C-alpha cells in the first residue's frame, strides 16, 4: 500500500544556492538537481517564481488546474501556490526567483499593481506565450540581470530591481493588461492597504475568516476594506478570504490523501460538516466530488 500523502513540500529560495539570496536568475540546466528532482513532485515555493520555457513541452499543474506549456512560454507562480511540473522530454529555459522583500525596495504602489496583474489575478496565475520579436526583449533583460549578479558592482541590487520591474512590465504588456489601469491603482494608500490585506490573508486565513477581523488589523472599517478590494481587484474582501480558503482545500484534495474531515481541521473549521457545506456552496461540488473529478483529469498526480 502506497504511503499516504499528508503534506505538500515547501521549497525555499536558499535551496537553489549556497547563500541566502533574495533574487536568483538562472538557466534551468544550471539549477541542477535542485530543480530536476522536483519534477513530478507536487510542491510550493515560499518565493515568487517566473519560468521561461524556451524549448520543450511540459504539463504544469497549478492548484489542480492542468496547463499544457509549449516552447517560448512564460508562467508566473506566487508564493504558496502548489504546482507540479511533468515533462517527457528535455526542457530548456530560465527561472527568475525573488523574495517579497526584494520587490519592496521602492515604488510600492506600482509594484503592488504589477503583482496584482501577473501573480494575484482571478486565475491565481499567468501563462503567457511569446513571439520571436518579444523574446528578444526578454532575452536582453535576462542577460543584463545575469551580468549584474555576476559582477555585483556598486548598487547592483538597485539595477536588478529596475530590470525585474521592466521584465514584469513587458510581461504585462504582452498579456494585454496595463500595470496601472485605473486611477485607484495609482493611489499609494489604497494599494498599500490592499497588499497588506492580501499578505494578512496568507498569514491568517486558517484562523480568521471574517472581513471585520482583517479590517480591525488594518485599522479601517469593513465597508472601506470591501470598497478598496472591489476597486483594485473587482471582487470583495470576503470573496478574497473565501477564495483563499477554498484554494487551499482544493490543493489538499488534489495533491494529498487527506480526508475532508482532516482537511477541515487543518483549515480551522471546528465542524467538518460545515466545511463540506461551505466547500459545496462556493464550488458546486462536495469535497469528494472535487477530489474524484480533479484526479480523473490528471490521474498521475
pLDDT of 182 reads 40
Give residue for cell 504546482: 83
Give residue for cell 499528508: 6
* Pairing outcome for strands 65-69 and 43-45: unpaired
pLDDT of 3 reads 57
CA distance 84 to 255: 9
pLDDT of 177 reads 54
pLDDT of 234 reads 85
Give residue for cell 520543450: 56
Query: Is 106 within 8 Å of 76 (Cβ atoms)?
Result: no
CATH tag, 183-297? 1.10.10.60
Residue 285, φ and ψ in degrees, nearest 5: -140, 145
pLDDT of 145 reads 95
Beta-sheet strand order (sheet of 126-129): 23-27, 92-98, 48-55, 73-77, 126-129
Beta-sheet strand order (sheet of 82-86): 9-11, 43-45, 82-86, 58-62, 65-69
pLDDT of 246 reads 95
Quick one: which of 177, 33, 174, 16 has its CA closest to 95?
A: 16
pLDDT of 116 reads 54
Q: Which long-range contacts (CB under 8 A, 24 or more apart) does 8-12 make?
A: 8/42, 8/43, 8/44, 8/82, 8/251, 8/252, 8/255, 8/256, 9/41, 9/42, 9/43, 9/44, 10/43, 10/44, 10/45, 10/46, 11/38, 11/43, 11/44, 11/45, 11/46, 12/45, 12/46, 12/47
Quick one: which of 139, 148, 5 has its CA closest to 74?
A: 139
Tell me the sheet residues that pair with 98. Answer: 23, 48
pLDDT of 65 reads 79
Q: Provide block-wise average pLDDT over 10 residues at a time, the chain (301 residues).
A: 66 67 86 75 86 90 81 86 82 89 56 61 70 94 94 91 90 69 47 83 94 90 88 89 94 92 95 96 94 73 54
**What is the distance of C-alpha 20 from the center of its chain?**
21
pTM to 2 decimal places: 0.63
Quick one: which of 156, 159, 30, 40 has its CA closest to 95?
A: 30
CA distance 147 to 141: 10
**What is the distance of C-alpha 12 from the center of its chain?**
14
CA distance 92 to 195: 34
In the chain, which residues fall in CATH 2.60.120.280? 9-175
The fold of 9-175 is: Jelly Rolls (2.60.120)
* Alpha helices by DSSP H, 181-286: 188-204, 211-218, 222-233, 237-255, 260-266, 272-283
In the chain, which residues fall in CATH 1.10.10.60? 183-297
Query: Is 149 within 8 Å of 156 (Cβ atoms)?
Result: yes
Amino acid at each position: 500500500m502506497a504511503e499516504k500523502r499528508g503534506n505538500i513540500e515547501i521549497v525555499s529560495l536558499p535551496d537553489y544556492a549556497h547563500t541566502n539570496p533574495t533574487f536568483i536568475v538562472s538557466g534551468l540546466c544550471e539549477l541542477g538537481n535542485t530543480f530536476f528532482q522536483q519534477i513530478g513532485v507536487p510542491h510550493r515555493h515560499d518565493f515568487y517564481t517566473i519560468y521561461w520555457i524556451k524549448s520543450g513541452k511540459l504539463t504544469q499543474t497549478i492548484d489542480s488546474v492542468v496547463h499544457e506549456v509549449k516552447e517560448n512560454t512564460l508562467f508566473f507562480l506566487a508564493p504558496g501556490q502548489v504546482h507540479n511540473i511533468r515533462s517527457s522530454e528535455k526542457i530548456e529555459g530560465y527561472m527568475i526567483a525573488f523574495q517579497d522583500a526584494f520587490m519592496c525596495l521602492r515604488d510600492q504602489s506600482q509594484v503592488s499593481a504589477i503583482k496584482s496583474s501577473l501573480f494575484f489575478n482571478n486565475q491565481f496565475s499567468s501563462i503567457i506565450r511569446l513571439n520571436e520579436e518579444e523574446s528578444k526583449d526578454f532575452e536582453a533583460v535576462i542577460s543584463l540581470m545575469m551580468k549584474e549578479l555576476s559582477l555585483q558592482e556598486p548598487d547592483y541590487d538597485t539595477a536588478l530591481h529596475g530590470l525585474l520591474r521592466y521584465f514584469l512590465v513587458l510581461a504585462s504588456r504582452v498579456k494585454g493588461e496595463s500595470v496601472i489601469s485605473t486611477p485607484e491603482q495609482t493611489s499609494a494608500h489604497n494599494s498599500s492597504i490592499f497588499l497588506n490585506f492580501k499578505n494578512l490573508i496568507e498569514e491568517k486565513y486558517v484562523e480568521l475568516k471574517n472581513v471585520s477581523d482583517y479590517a480591525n488589523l488594518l485599522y479601517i472599517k469593513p465597508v472601506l476594506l470591501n470598497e478598496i478590494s472591489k476597486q483594485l481587484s473587482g471582487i470583495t474582501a470576503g470573496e478574497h478570504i473565501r477564495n483563499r480558503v477554498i484554494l487551499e482545500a482544493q490543493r489538499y484534495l488534489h495533491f494529498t490523501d487527506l480526508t475532508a474531515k482532516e482537511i477541515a481541521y487543518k483549515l480551522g473549521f471546528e465542524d467538518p460538516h460545515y466545511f463540506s457545506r461551505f466547500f459545496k456552496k462556493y464550488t458546486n461540488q462536495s469535497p469528494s466530488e472535487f477530489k474524484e473529478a480533479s484526479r480523473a483529469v490528471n490521474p498521475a498526480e
